[in-house]
Structure formats: structure tokens, C-alpha cells
Homo-oligomer: A and B are copies of this chain.
């Protein structure tokens, strides 16, 4: 087996209790690498089409990558994937923290969870040994309680836990998997899949070392990167302000989703900004395995809400989702909402989007106090937001409807609610406004996971500068954010492709290393004489596989569209009069398909699958 991998994939069948180990060869790892590459491989290979995402036929894959656990900033990540209960298509999410690295140190590159247990269980992995354990006493517990109990009963405070909260237990369709009680594999409802299998947690402890092909080179790069991150502006900004540091700039540019994406400017933005967090509620910063940046806030408040800093604090997506997009400028309430989402295992993006949707339905008269157990669901009502978080997690009242996501809730509500359901393929739209970042709008549309910000370029600042990853791909010409030319689509294609490389490695997209630096690292770790061409093909391969998964489920071109709202111009703010253009948008989608070798329905062509060395995928259609 190559360096950087253990060569072992743990397979756990919760129906039978059988535990086994797959040992793919090095060629497999070099072809699929890790993260989304492994997830899409196993989901395509092992799931039949049409299966129920919340049934025993679904499989839940936890996957590391070549860089997971390597002692360098950005490597503390893993992927979690399964058929998504939110979209009915390909699902996965990446997550930071320490759990993925611990899994590697425990001897595994991935875990495939199959079947479904009769009663709650958790999985305990220590240095290669794996055991299914009773979790009846953990069921119903918050993530914080659960982690404490597991560490106590196994007698090791160094244990790392990936788990679901009550939202996952209750199969909220956007429940997440939480690492270390504050890092979320948030999107596509992986927590619901875990809940459906009655798998409460995976506890991991490892004492092995990551095998490095050239430890001297890796250590030297690690030192270089550490020094570099100390002075790099973007890294320093992340250290000081976290992802929240960009909120005010977005607001100024009309890029801050406000009141269910009705506007891009929020009058209360300053109150929920990174600066406001730093001044008012910050008590510390934390990060992920081996990372000196420490971009995650720890916040605490006593009044009006008691917010527990062990759950971390709100990042940008959460501030916008529970804040501006709900018209809420109460930072303490947002911090409390963030804590609740982490404690219950809810994706803050979808949760906030569902609440914003309900608020707009309420203001439009589609919902009344009769439907909401008396809650006045007006935009800006922080108390109602917090109440809804609870109701969604517990499946109470209207929360039970919203737990299915805005697309299904809109059908349930009827009366034109669909107009206000801001989603793509059933997944709620994250907190980046596509009228502002128009290429991202295309990215939302074609993403196999539905609206997703982790796999597509954020073209915020491409107006006047080209980021290093695109320069490394031969793209040198900046273009306005409000443009959807073919040249912009090319940026999207190349940029998404590179982001998928990171998602296969599985490496943090916020650590501002250039492709050349990352490739040096991969070479040092694995010993592969690899390069940006080979890795870009890995990225392209896994985009094609994830897309193929959806095609097999019947999700092609007809599912690639954005909510109508984004085609209606802003009526105020700096982008007043600006919207996406239907014609331009659908031309851009056509161009994207053609550039990546997909046919008119968005299915990868046979020749493209062959060129990527995954001809076997064609046999699945």
C-alpha cells in the first residue's frame, strides 16, 4: 500500500453485525484518491437505483483522503456520503475537526456502514479493532452529552466521536453528522441516514502514525506552510475573524442573503458580523487537526440565552442562515441557534433556510398562527426562530413538516408556497447570493448534491483578481461577478474541478495553499510522481461519478434549475435592477455540459467516462 493510506476500508453491516475489511490495491487509491472519490465510487458500485435513502439498502460512507491526518494545516477533514434523503440523489458533505485524522491513525481509510440495526448502537474503533456497541443509553442525548458518556465508558478522553443528535435520530432530512460536537458534515442529510440505521456514533482512537513516503520533505513543507500562513493575509484574516470576517463585505456588495433571499443587503448586518462576534461574545478560537489558523469561534453568552462555548459558535453560513436570511439581527439568539443545531445535529444552512421559508409563508398568509402553534413567524422574530429549531429537531408541530426541507414543505403547505422554497434538487440554498455571484448560481444548479457551496467556485472577487488555483490552471483574465459568459463558465469548470481535487484529498478549501504547494505535499506523502493534470482528472472523475449517480436516479437536466426568485431583479441596494437572466443561465448550463463532456440531459458521455478511466460507470445506466 502507498504511503498516506492504510489500505484498509472497514465494512460494518448493522443488520447482521458482520464486520469485515476491504483491502483495495494502490491503483484504486491513485484512481479515486479519497473523500468524494471514494464515496461516489462505493455509492455507484454498491447501491441499486431507486432505493429508499432512509432504508437499510442505503450505505453510509465515511471517507478520508490522501492528506487526512498528515500533520499539515488543512488535513483534518473527512467526507460522509450516502444517497441523500433530502434530494433523492447523490449526497455527501465534508467536515473538519479531529475525527478523520483519528480514523486514519486508527488504521482505516474509510468506513462503509450497511444495513440497519434493530436498536441504537455505536461503533467503537481502536487501532484496527472494531466493535458494535449498545447505544440505547445514548439515544436522545445531545451531542455534548453523548461524547462525554462515550469517553467515560470507554475510559479514554482522547477518543474522537462522529455522531448524530436527536435530529438525526428523528431523521430530519437535513440532519448532519457532527465531529467533535462542533464540526458538521452539514449538507444532504447524512445524519438522517445515520439515524435511520440507528447508528448513534462512531468513536475512534488511533495511536498509529501516518506513513509518509518522504517525511523530511513533508516536515519541511509543513514548516514552510506554517510560516506562510502566519503572514498570508487571507489566513491571518481567518485566524482573527473566522469565516464571519467576510460578512460585511458581502452585505456592502448586496451578496448577503436577507429575508429568504428577497434582498442582498441586511440593515442589521453590522450586529451579526465577525467584528460584532469578536467584540461581544467571543471567548476563544478553535481549529482542526494540525491547523494553526483556528478559524472557528468559541462564543458564550449568559443573557438572554445561556450559550455553551463547548459547541463552538456561528460561522458565516450560520450567521446568515439564522440571521440575515431570517431578518434577525440578534447575535445572541443566532449564537444560541448555532449551539442548538450542534447539540441536536442540524445543518444550520438548511435549518435557517427552512425557517426563513416558513417566515415568508407566514408573512404571505400561506401559514397562520393556527399552523404554527401560535408562533408569530415574522421575519426578525428571534424567539420564534429558536423555537422552530427545537420543533424541527424534535419533529413537533410545524417542525415536523419543515423537517422534510423546503421543497416537501412547500408541497404540504400548498397555496403557492413553492415560490418561496429556495432550493435546488430539494437542498436548501446556502448563503451565497447567485444574483451577486452568478457563476456560483450555475454551480448550484449543476451540483450533484443540489445547491452546495463546497464544490463550486465562489466568484466573489474575480472581478479584479484571479485566485491562485485558477492561475495555476491557465486562467488569467478577471471577469465581473455579474457575468455568465463562456469564459466565466470555463472558470467554473476548472475551479469546481480543482475544488473536487481538494474534496478527494480531503483538504480544507480555506487553507490558502496554491495547487503547486498542495501537489508537493501529496508527492511527499504518497510517493506518487503526480501532478496537477493527474489530480484534475481525479476531480473530473469524481464529478462525473456523482453526476452519473443522479442520472441513474432519473435526475438529469430537468432537475438543474434555480428558484425563480433569482431571475427577478433586486429592487434596492447596489445591485438594484440586477438579476440572473434565464437565457444566459440556461446557455451557461449548456456550455458547462458541453465543456465537461455531458450530453444534453447532463449525463456524462460514454467517451468521457472512457477518457476518465471509468467505463464501468456506463454499464450502470
Q: Which of B471, B489, B611 contacts A490 (CB 8 A)?
A: B611
Q: Is A486 an interface residue (CB 8 A)?
A: yes
Complex Cα distance A606/B593, Å?
12
Q: Which of B474, B590, B607, B611 contacts A533 (CB 8 A)?
A: B474
A246-282 interface bits toward B, Cβ cutoff 8 Å, 1 = contact, 0 = none: 0000000000000000000000000000000000000
Q: Which of B476, B489, B529, B536 contacts A516 (CB 8 A)?
A: B529
Q: Is A594 an interface residue (CB 8 A)?
A: yes
Contact B595 A610 (CB under 8 A): yes
Q: Is A51 an interface residue (CB 8 A)?
A: no
Chain B residues lying within 8 Å of A472, measured Cβ to Cβ, are 529, 531, 533-534
Q: Tell me the A476-522 residues at the B interface (CB within 8 Å).
A: 476, 486-487, 489-490, 493, 515-516
Q: Is A615 an interface residue (CB 8 A)?
A: yes
Q: For A473, A533, A536, A615, which residue has the most chain B Cβ atoms within 10 angstroms?
A: A533
Complex Cα distance A472/B532, Å?
10
Q: Please name the residue on chain B nearest to A474 by beta carbon.
A: B534
Chain B residues lying within 8 Å of A597, measured Cβ to Cβ, are 594-595, 597
Complex Cα distance A85/B233, Å?
58
Complex Cα distance A359/B534, Å?
49
A575-619 interface bits toward B, Cβ cutoff 8 Å, 1 = contact, 0 = none: 000000000000000110111010000000111101101010000
- In which size bucket is the chain A interface? 35 or more
Contact B610 A486 (CB under 8 A): yes
In the assembled complex, how far is the CB of residue A300 from the closest CB belonging to chain B, in whole angstroms? Answer: 45
Complex Cα distance A307/B399, Å?
95
Complex Cα distance A284/B525, Å?
49
Contact B534 A489 (CB under 8 A): no
Contact B613 A594 (CB under 8 A): no
Complex Cα distance A30/B476, Å?
10
Q: Please name the residue on chain B nearest to A592 by beta carbon.
A: B607
Complex Cα distance A487/B611, Å?
7
Contact A490 B594 (CB under 8 A): no
In the assembled complex, how far is the CB of residue A492 from the closest CB belonging to chain B, in whole angstroms? Answer: 11
Q: Nearest 7 CB-CB pairs, A to B? A: A594-B607, A486-B610, A474-B534, A532-B533, A595-B611, A595-B607, A531-B532
Chain B residues lying within 8 Å of A606, measured Cβ to Cβ, are 486, 591, 594
In the assembled complex, how far is the CB of residue A557 from the closest CB belonging to chain B, in whole angstroms? Answer: 15
Given contacts A472-B534, A486-B607, A531-B532, 6 further A-B contacts (CB under 8 A): A474-B537, A486-B606, A487-B610, A490-B613, A594-B597, A595-B597
Chain B residues lying within 8 Å of A304, measured Cβ to Cβ, are none
Chain B residues lying within 8 Å of A536, measured Cβ to Cβ, are 533
A416-427 interface bits toward B, Cβ cutoff 8 Å, 1 = contact, 0 = none: 000000000000
Q: Is A374 an interface residue (CB 8 A)?
A: no
Q: Please name the residue on chain B nearest to A615 by beta carbon.
A: B486
In the assembled complex, how far is the CB of residue A600 from the closest CB belonging to chain B, in whole angstroms? Answer: 12
Q: Is A158 an interface residue (CB 8 A)?
A: no
Q: Please name the residue on chain B nearest to A599 by beta carbon.
A: B594
Q: Is A155 an interface residue (CB 8 A)?
A: no
Q: List 23 A-B contacts (CB under 8 A).
A: A30-B476, A471-B529, A472-B533, A472-B534, A473-B533, A474-B533, A474-B534, A474-B537, A486-B607, A486-B611, A486-B615, A490-B610, A516-B529, A516-B531, A531-B533, A532-B532, A532-B533, A533-B533, A594-B608, A595-B607, A595-B610, A595-B611, A597-B597
